[in-house]
């Protein structure tokens, strides 16, 4: 007997995790499992979508960051409970699942790890932010068939690139997945991953149909995929860009002068984020990355009553400052087009 996850199930589950009601959420999920919903569907159709929904609720300022974290914690416990109940004997190869260095969002990787475990793989989940040396040493010791690298935030793509190369240098093929690799995980392909998967179901298929060998297919000499070093140079200028943008914001919005130290820090953090996403976009040489980030940022700020002009102003400042960075300017121009129309600062 099998059953599918419905919208009602998701709504109910969202309410439970929203209240941080761990016991009820666990019981609810286990109850659905007993009613014939496969644990795989619970993860892919209930917990996964709910987590994305929670991120959205935070972005729209409907949930506090503490509530978001408490809900995520509950989902972690739910997955742990499901995993404890369903432990099939592995009859496929060994897959190491690791979040890239600096990636602390472990839940998406954990969900993936459990789903492929239920598909018969012998899964070693190394958790959040796995340092490169630790991962390489683990691979030497255990010689897995595949390393699945998870990246949820595009700003960790440079880390992801290092990890992918390090793993391939050890002769182990890499499967890249997670929201950080972009639509259809296409930046995973760009960074040289042997395979990519846009979502959990795709990953299951990729792994099943992958003829795994001891000898990696990748050549040791890799070409750089961008023609210049803009992504590196802009990182170096990050602090300076933030400082200039801060001054210009204060000129334009006098209220900034009255900011508390904490408010100032928070603003600087946001300005720094913009630089980081810009650099990530330059790194994979795809304006879509920065464009998507600016759209998201405008939603986040609008729900917190920050006028979109501020975003436009900052992008304009960066555009001026980076006058000798043609690619960065193209990304910034593309980003500015995402700022809600009619609200832009007159040049």
List 1, 262, 346, 347, residue binding other proteins (CB under 8 A): 262
Does position 89 interact with other proteins (CB under 8 A)? The reply is: no
DSSP track, 1-17 = --B---HHHHHHHHHHH
Count of C-beta atoms within a 10 Å radius of residue 205: 11
Q: How far is the CB of 341 from other proteins (least distance, A)?
A: 33
What is the Cα–Cα distance from 136 to 122, expressed in whole angstroms? 18
Does position 129 interact with other proteins (CB under 8 A)? The reply is: yes
Per-residue contact track with other proteins, 270 to 309, x per CB under 8 A? --x-------------------------------------
The one segment of 19-27, 53-61, 180-188, 332-340 that binds other proteins by CB under 8 A: 19-27
- φ, ψ (nearest 5 deg) of residue 243: -65, -45
Residues from 166 through 225 that contact other proteins (CB under 8 A): 169-172, 213-216, 220
Please tell me what DSSP assigns to residue 192. T
The one segment of 50-58, 140-148, 308-316, 324-332 that binds other proteins by CB under 8 A: 140-148
Does position 90 interact with other proteins (CB under 8 A)? The reply is: no
Q: Which of 327, 294, 330, 296 is nearest to 313 (CA)?
A: 294
Q: How far is the CB of 317 from other proteins (least distance, A)?
A: 18
What is the Cα–Cα distance from 21 to 13, expressed in whole angstroms? 10
Q: Which residue has the tokens 């009601």?
A: 21
Is 80 or 333 the residue whose CB approaches other proteins more closely?
80
The full length of the chain comes to 347
Beta carbons of 93 and 145 less than 8 angstroms apart:
yes
Does position 3 interact with other proteins (CB under 8 A)? The reply is: no
Is 70 or 233 the residue whose CB approaches other proteins more closely?
70
Does position 86 interact with other proteins (CB under 8 A)? The reply is: no
- φ, ψ (nearest 5 deg) of residue 164: -60, -45
What is the Cα–Cα distance from 212 to 214, expressed in whole angstroms? 7
Element (H, E) at 176: strand 174-177
b/e map 95-105, b = 16+ CB within 10 Å: bbbbbbbbbeb
List 31, 36, 143, 183, residue binding other proteins (CB under 8 A): 143
What is the Cα–Cα distance from 159 to 109, expressed in whole angstroms? 16
List 3, 15, 23, 35, residue binding other proteins (CB under 8 A): 23
Number of chain positions touching other proteins (CB under 8 A): 41
Is 27 or 309 the residue whose CB approaches other proteins more closely?
27
Does position 263 interact with other proteins (CB under 8 A)? The reply is: no
Question: H helices within the chain, ranges in order?
Answer: 7-18, 22-34, 39-41, 48-59, 65-85, 107-117, 132-142, 157-169, 186-190, 200-208, 230-236, 238-252, 261-284, 287-303, 308-321, 326-336
Q: How far is the CB of 203 from other proteins (least distance, A)?
A: 23
Does position 340 interact with other proteins (CB under 8 A)? The reply is: no
CA dihedral 48, 5, 188, 131 (to 10 degrees): 40
Residues from 224 through 243 that contact other proteins (CB under 8 A): 239
Q: How far is the CB of 295 from other proteins (least distance, A)?
A: 23
Is 211 or 342 the residue whose CB approaches other proteins more closely?
211
Is 213 or 257 the residue whose CB approaches other proteins more closely?
213
**Bridge partners (DSSP) listed for residue 146:** 95
List 10, 12, 20, 226, residue binding other proteins (CB under 8 A): 20
Q: How far is the CB of 124 from other proteins (least distance, A)?
A: 13
For other proteins, the binding residues (CB under 8 A) are 20, 22-23, 26-27, 64-66, 69-70, 72-73, 81, 84-85, 102, 104, 129, 131-134, 137, 139-143, 169-172, 213-216, 220, 239, 262, 268, 272
């Amino acid at each position: 007997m099998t059953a599918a996850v419905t919208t009602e199930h998701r709504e109910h589950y969202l309410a439970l995790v929203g209240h941080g009601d761990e016991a009820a959420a666990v019981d609810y999920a286990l109850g659905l499992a007993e009613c014939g919903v496969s644990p795989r569907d619970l993860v892919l159709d209930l917990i996964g979508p709910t987590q994305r929904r929670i991120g959205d609720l935070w972005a729209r300022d409907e949930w506090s960051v503490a509530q978001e974290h408490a809900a995520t914690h509950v989902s972690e416990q739910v997955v742990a409970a499901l995993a404890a109940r369903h432990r099939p004997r592995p009859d496929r190869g060994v897959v190491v699942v690791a979040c890239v260095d600096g990636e602390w969002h472990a839940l998406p990787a954990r969900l993936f790890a459990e789903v492929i475990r239920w598909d018969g793989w012998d899964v070693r989940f190394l958790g959040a932010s796995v340092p490169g040396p630790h991962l390489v040493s683990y691979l030497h010791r255990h010689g897995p068939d595949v390393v699945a690298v998870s990246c949820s935030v595009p700003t960790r793509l440079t880390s992801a690139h290092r990890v992918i190369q390090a793993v391939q240098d050890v002769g182990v093929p890499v499967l890249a997945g997670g929201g950080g690799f972009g639509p259809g995980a296409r930046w995973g392909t760009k960074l040289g991953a042997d395979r990519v998967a846009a979502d959990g179901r795709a990953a299951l298929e990729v792994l099943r149909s992958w003829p795994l060998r001891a000898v990696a297919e990748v050549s040791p000499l890799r070409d750089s995929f961008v023609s210049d070093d803009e992504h590196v140079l802009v990182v170096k200028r990050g602090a300076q860009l933030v400082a200039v943008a801060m001054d210009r914001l204060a000129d334009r919005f006098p209220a900034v002068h009255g900011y508390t130290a904490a408010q100032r820090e928070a603003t600087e953090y946001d300005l720094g984020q913009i630089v980081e996403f810009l650099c990530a976009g330059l790194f994979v040489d795809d304006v879509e990355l920065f464009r998507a980030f600016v759209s998201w940022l405008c939603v986040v700020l609008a729900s917190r009553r920050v006028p979109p002009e501020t975003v436009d102003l900052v992008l304009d400042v960066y555009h001026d400052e980076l006058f000798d960075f043609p690619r960065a300017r193209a990304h910034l121009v593309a980003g500015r087009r995402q700022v809600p129309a009619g609200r832009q600062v007159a040049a």
